[in-house]
Structure 1
Amino acid sequence: MTSAAEGRFHMVDVSSLTSVTRRAILRTVDHVRIEAVYEPCTASVTDTAVVVAHGFTGSVDRPALRRAAQVLRRHANVVTFSFRGHGRSGGLSTVGDREVLDLSAAVRWARELGHARVATVGFSMGGSVVLRQAALERGTDARPDAVAAVSAPARWYYRGTPAMRRVHWVITRPVGRLVGRYGLGTRIDRRDWDPVPLAPFEAVPLIAPTPLLVVHGDRDPYFPVDHPRMLAAAAEAAGTPLELWLERGMGHAENAAADELLDRLGTWLTRP
């Protein structure tokens, strides 16, 4: 499950900068169909778009993602989408590997719609994807102008919490993948990563000079606070401009992100 690009990017249902909500089917460079939604800013006319990457088992229509999108729309135009294997998108989930291509398709769509500035924000698995995508897309038209990772892991194969042991059971066991498909609405690729993709902490040094924000709750049941601190240390060692927000009392990802935090995220993502 490699993130190497194949061929050219394709998409359908593309228009110029628009003031109306629209749905689209994007096509990634490896030919996976990705459902996406564009929603204009509710507060003002702006050329900034924020692309939001959900967590594992999420989708474009899940209530937590919809709530996040509505708060972020106070600050910018918003693109949401379902990763491969999730929602009505095609393909199978590779749990953060080839999902980089899905995010790149969404960023390119935002630029095709006329937005000069595009920022990305990801939650949990989506957080790892925005970090790797920013590193891998340097110098391309899919490069983001700012990146925020919320509740993201710093390294792969972490099993140090009961919650992550349950996630690994879903991903690695045949019965778990059936639970993922029919219970969680997520279709998971049974193949192991080959090669193992760049880890998030390895991606962080490659993001500079793009501004980076890492947000993490001190009550996250999946990844303890050594994960954001590992990301911050990697950024500091490489000179990547970074802010670290450790949120008191916060749990995990979009489900735990309060409106006040989302509002602060919107401010950060849209600042010059």
Structure 2
Amino acid sequence: MKYQGGLPEHNDNISHEHPLKDFLLILLALSLAVLAGIWVAGLLVDRVVDDISPETKARLTRLLAPPLPPARKDAAAREAWLQSQVDALRQCAGIAGPVNVRLVASPQANAVVLPGGTVMVYAGLLEQVKSENGLAFVLAHELSHLVHRDHLRAIGRSLVVIAAATVLTGDGSWAAGVLAPAQHLGETRHSRERESLADARALRILQCRYGHVGGATEFFEALRKQDGDAPALGAFTHYLASHPSMAARIEALQLAMRQAGLRSDQVRPLSLPR
């Protein structure tokens, strides 16, 4: 009898699925595991940031602080006035260390706070708000990010993504870029939560500074009238946004005012030095 070679009909070591399907399933499972690990690590970052001592936090922020931008001679009077406003708000925020103010010659209506405690006020903001109270709320919001240590949270979470990419591939430079879009979906929700918490604290700072919260929604109302909230884009765009929509922020602030029994009163007109 002539021998004819052949494989057994049932062999547990041989997959009968298409190799591409197996590859995609493995890739999906690995990706989900990595993203879940990043999410858990992000929660741990928040816990660590909350638990570090004020002394350690101060050392870290000094280490991460960028060089202080030079003061503008042509805006010295306005910078000094803004500095006095931030100093008064800083006391209400409970910030013991100094906070410096720099006025940026830009039409953008915004303010940001840098690690180390420098508030960058863009000149366009001074054209957008009409009252001292409205400006104070924006500044108080930025100070709230300092109080909540949000810079350390953001940096820690970014390091988690880079570390995960490096562990997986040995080179985090390109893999971090691949993971970043998926991670961004989770980070935007975290960012919106941090923004909402900063808004809530800014209300308390405003109450401390003026005895009422008039002007708290002024800036957001001005932006909503100027740009709108683009409702046609729907919830998907909101999910991708790192900040809540203007309408959502106004609604949340009004709800917080009602729940806390905070009242609005007459605001001070914005009187800027020349």
After TM superposition, the score normalised by the length of structure 2 is: 0.24
Of structures 1 and 2, the larger Rg is shown by 2
More helix by share: 2
More strand by share: 1
